[in-house]
Structure 1
C-alpha cells in the first residue's frame, strides 16, 4: 500500500505540473518546458499562485531533489556494504563507504559546474536504470504474490509495460544503442540526431515484454505442477 500510494501520489503531482504547463505554454515553448527545468517551475508558480504560493512550490522543488539524493547515496552505501560484507552498525564502517560514495558525487557535481561533465546524460542513465530496477522489482513481486496465492496481475501487468518501456528506451536512447540505430546527419561539422528508429525499437520492446510475460507465466505453471 505504501509503494502504490507513493507512486500514485507522484503520478498525480506529475499530471498537475503537466496540466499547468499546457495551460501556460504553447507550441515550441511547450515542447521545451522540460528542458527549462527550474526556470519553467519558477515561471509556472509565479503566473498561477503569486509570490506566496511560488515560495511554497519552490521549497518543494528544492526539497524533493535533496531527499532523493540523500536516499540515493544511502542506497548506494548499503548496496556496497551488502556486496563487500561490511557491517554498517559502527560509524567507522559507515564512513569507509560514505566518504568515497560522496566523493564520486562531488566529482560529478563539480565536473558539471565546470562544464566538463554533461550531467543531463548522467541523469538519463540514472532514469533508465531506475525504471529498469522498477521492472525487475515488479517481476519479483509478481512471483512473490503468486507464491502467496494472491492477485499477482496487479504487479505483472505494470511489469510487462515497464519491460517494454525500458527495452524501447535502451534502443532509442542516444546514450545507449541510439547512436548506432537512429538516423543522424552532419550539420555544421557536428553529428546531430534527425529521427529515432521507432520502426525497430517499438516492435523489439513489445516482443521483449511479451517474452518476459511468457517466461513468468511458464514459471508459475511449473510451480503449480510441483505443488
Structure 2
C-alpha cells in the first residue's frame, strides 16, 4: 500500500507546485472584472461562493469516469497508478485550468468559440460538432448508467425505463432553471455524499488491510490485462482512464463555472483543484479494484466473466467493504456522481447552441426550445447497447481533450508564454487518440506497428503545423487576452 499513499501525497503536492506554475504561466489578475459581474443575468452568469463553485465543478466533472474508468483501468495493474498521477498533474490539470481560465477571459464562452479564436474558423466548426456530440453522449451515458444501478436496487416495477424517465425529468429542470436555483442548492449536498463515499471506501480499504499491489519498473512492460494482445497498455489504458487523468468533457463544463467566479484568483482551486480531487477518487477506486477481488488477475477474471461491466464490480466492492446499508449509501454516492455530470452536460449543450446561434437565454421558453429536442435525441440513443455508447464516448472524450490542449498551446505560443506546458501533453494525447482508433476493434483493427507509426506521424505533423501556423499569425490583428 506504500505506492498508493505515495501517489496521494504526490497529487496533493502537485496541486501546490505544478498548479501554482500553471497559475503563474497564465498570469492572473485579481482585479479584472469577471463575466459573473460584467454579464450578470441571474440565470447563467451568477456570482457564487468559491466553495460552492468548487463543489459544482467537481460534481460536473466527476461522473462515472473516475469510478468506472479506474475500475477498468485497474485491469492493467499498477501502471494505471502512474497514468492517474502524471495524467492528472501534467495533462488533466493543465487542460482543466487553462480551459477554465480562457473561458473566464472570453466572457464565459464555450470552448468551441475559444478554439475558433486561436486556431481558426474551420476548426471551430469541427469542435462545435465534436463537442455537441460528446455532450449528448455524456448526458445519455450518465442517465442510462445510474438508471441501471437504481433498477437493480429497487422494486421490479421501477425498471430501467422508469428510472431513465425520472432522471430525464430532473435533467430538464436542471438544464433550464437558473444555475443557483437547483444546481446551486443540491450540489453541496450531493458533493458531501460523493466525497463521504470515497473517504469511507478508502478508510475501509486501509483498515481492512487489502493487498494493494506496489508499482515497480517492470510494470511498464508487464501488461497484466487478461487479453494483452487485444488491449496493449498504449493506447488502451490512456483512453480507458480518462476522467481520472485527462478528459475533454471537463472543458465543456468549465464555462459553466467561469460564469460564476468572483475573481481570477479562484481559478486554481476551482479548476486545477477539482482535477486533483478527481485524481484522488480515481486512485482510491483503482487501488480497491486491484486488491478487493484478491489481486489483478482475479479482477480481470471477474470483469471478463461479466463482459467488462464495471457497475457490477462497484456494487460488489461497496457492499463487501461497507456492509449492506453502507453499500447502499455508497452506491447512492456512485449514482449521484454521473447524474450531476449528466445534467450539466445537457446544460452545457444548451449554452453551446445558444453561443452558436446567438440565442438569448433569459426567457425560459428560449431555453426549452433548445433543450427539449436534445432530450429527445438522447432518449433515442439510450436504446442502443450501453457498451458501444461508452467506448465511442471514451474516444470522443479524449479527442476533444487533445484539441483543447492544442488550443491552449496555441494561446501560450501567441502570448509568448511557456507553451511547452500544454504542447507536450497535446502531442502525447494526439498519439493516443490516433493509435487507439486505428488499433481498437471499434476502429480499424490495424496492426500495432502501423497504428503507433501513424500516431507519431500525426503528432509530429501537428507539432510542426502549430509552430508554423501560430507564429505566422502571431503578429496579426486577433487579440490575445
| TM-score when normalising by structure 1 | 0.78
Measure the CA separation in 2 of the matches of 1:32 and 1:169. 25
Measure the CA separation in 2 of the matches of 1:103 and 1:225. 46
Alignment of 1:204-219 (within 5 A): 204-219=454-469
| TM-score when normalising by structure 2 | 0.39
Which residue does the alignment assign to 2:440?
Answer: 173
For the 8 Å contact 1:172–1:201, the answer to whether it is kept is yes
Give 2:390's match in structure 1, choosing from 114, 119, 123.
123
Give 2:287's match in structure 1, choosing from 13, 19, 40.
19
Where does structure 2 lack aligned partners over 5 or more consecutive residues?
1-267, 477-481
Residues 96 and 3 (structure 1 numbering): CA distance in 2 closer, same or farther, change over 3 Å? same
Task: Report the alpha carbon displacement of residue 106 of structure 1 after superposing the two structures with TM.
Answer: 1.6
Residues 62 and 78 (structure 1 numbering): CA distance in 2 closer, same or farther, change over 3 Å? same
Where does structure 1 lack aligned partners over 5 or more consecutive residues?
112-116, 182-196
Alignment of 1:69-108 (within 5 A): 69-108=342-381
Task: Report the alpha carbon displacement of residue 225 of structure 1 after superposing the two structures with TM.
Answer: 8.0
Measure the CA separation in 2 of the matches of 1:156 and 1:56. 42
| Residue-pair matches, total | 204
Task: Report the alpha carbon displacement of residue 219 of structure 1 after superposing the two structures with TM.
Answer: 3.8
1:153 is aligned to 2:403: no
Residues 28 and 51 (structure 1 numbering): CA distance in 2 closer, same or farther, change over 3 Å? closer
Task: Report the alpha carbon displacement of residue 148 of structure 1 after superposing the two structures with TM.
Answer: 3.0
Measure the CA separation in 2 of the matches of 1:81 and 1:20. 42
Which residue does the alignment assign to 2:248?
Answer: none
Which stretch of the first structure deviates more once superposed, 139-148 or 216-225? 216-225
Residues 29 and 23 (structure 1 numbering): CA distance in 2 closer, same or farther, change over 3 Å? closer
For the 8 Å contact 1:45–1:57, the answer to whether it is kept is yes
Give 2:338's match in structure 1, choosing from 60, 65, 70.
65
For the 8 Å contact 1:22–1:30, the answer to whether it is kept is no
Please state whether the residue corresponding to 1:44 is helix, strand or coil.
helix
Residues 220 and 176 (structure 1 numbering): CA distance in 2 closer, same or farther, change over 3 Å? same
Task: Report the alpha carbon displacement of residue 20 of structure 1 after superposing the two structures with TM.
Answer: 0.7
Task: Report the alpha carbon displacement of residue 124 of structure 1 after superposing the two structures with TM.
Answer: 1.7
Measure the CA separation in 1 of the matches of 2:416 and 2:329. 45
1:118-169: CA deviation from partner (whole Å, max 9, x where unpaired): 1221222222111111111111111212333332222111111111111112
- Structure number with greater CO (CA < 8 Å, separation at least 6) is 2
Structural RMSD (CA): 2.5
Residues 87 and 175 (structure 1 numbering): CA distance in 2 closer, same or farther, change over 3 Å? farther
1:63-118: CA deviation from partner (whole Å, max 9, x where unpaired): 11101111221122222233333222211111111111011112222x2xxxxx21
Please state whether the residue corresponding to 2:279 is helix, strand or coil.
helix
Higher strand proportion, which one? 1
Please state whether the residue corresponding to 2:460 is helix, strand or coil.
helix
Measure the CA separation in 2 of the matches of 1:98 and 1:18. 36
Please state whether the residue corresponding to 2:360 is helix, strand or coil.
coil
Measure the CA separation in 2 of the matches of 1:15 and 1:143. 31
Which stretch of the first structure deviates more once superposed, 141-150 or 35-44? 141-150
Measure the CA separation in 2 of the matches of 1:160 and 1:35. 30
Measure the CA separation in 2 of the matches of 1:12 and 1:140. 27
Please state whether the residue corresponding to 1:35 is helix, strand or coil.
coil
1:138 is aligned to 2:405: yes
Which stretch of the first structure deviates more once superposed, 48-57 or 63-72? 48-57
1:172-196: CA deviation from partner (whole Å, max 9, x where unpaired): 2333323xx3xxxxxxxxxxxxxxx
Please state whether the residue corresponding to 1:74 is helix, strand or coil.
helix
Task: Report the alpha carbon displacement of residue 217 of structure 1 after superposing the two structures with TM.
Answer: 2.9
